[in-house]
A and B are shown apart, each in its own frame.
Chain A
Amino acid sequence: MTQMPPAVNTIAPLSNVTLCTSALERAMNRPGHLPGMISFYGPSGWGKTSAAAYSANMHQAYYVECKSSWTKKALLIAMLTEMGVMPAPTIYQMTDQVAEQLVLSGRPLIIDEFDHIVQKNAVEIVRDVYEGSNAPILLIGEERLEGNLRRWERFHNRMLDWVPAQPASLKDARHLCQLYCTKSHIEDDLLERIVEFSKGAARRICVNLNIVHDFACRKHMERINASEWGRKQLYTGEAPRRRVF
Chain B
Amino acid sequence: MSRVTLKPRNAGRPAIRDAIWMAIRNRSLFTIPELIADTGQKSATVRDYVHALAAAGYIRHLKNATPTSGRGAKIWRLDRDTGIEPPRITLEGQEDTSGRCRDQLWRAMKMLNDFDKADLALHASTEEHPVSVQSAARYISYLRRAGYLARIQPPQGRRPARYRLLNSKHTGPRAPRLVCAGDGVRPRVYDLNTGEYHPLGGAA
Contacts and interface: CB of A to CB of B under 8 A. Distances in A.
A104 interface: yes
Nearest to A102: B83
A168 to B, nearest CB: 15
A128 interface: no
A236 interface: no
B112 interface: yes
A149 interface: no
A41 to B, nearest CB: 17
A75 to B, nearest CB: 14
Interface residues of B, number: 41
Chain B CB within 10 A, most for which of A57, A100, A180: A57
A54 B4 contact: no
A104 B112 contact: no
Nearest to B104: A57
Nearest to B25: A104
B181 to A, nearest CB: 22
B107 interface: yes
Contacts of B84: 83-85, 101, 104-105
Interface string A206-223: 000010001001000000
Interface residues of A, number: 39
Nearest to A176: B122
Nearest to B112: A53
B110 A104 contact: no
Contacts of A179: 122
B140 to A, nearest CB: 16
A104 B107 contact: no
Interface string B107-140: 1101110000010011111110110000000000
Nearest to A182: B118
B9 interface: yes
Interface in A82-115: 82-86, 88, 93, 96-97, 100-101, 104-106, 112
B133 to A, nearest CB: 9
A94 to B, nearest CB: 9
B112 A49 contact: yes
B107 A53 contact: yes
A104 B79 CA distance: 12
Contacts of A1: none
Contacts of A104: 6, 81-84
A89 B32 CA distance: 33
Given A83-B172, A214-B157, 13 more contacts: A11-B122, A54-B126, A57-B104, A57-B107, A57-B124, A81-B171, A83-B173, A84-B85, A96-B2, A97-B6, A100-B4, A104-B81, A104-B82
Interface of B: 1-2, 4-11, 81-85, 103-104, 107-108, 110-112, 118, 121-127, 129-130, 157-159, 170-174, 193
5 contacts: A10-B125, A57-B107, A100-B83, A104-B84, A106-B82
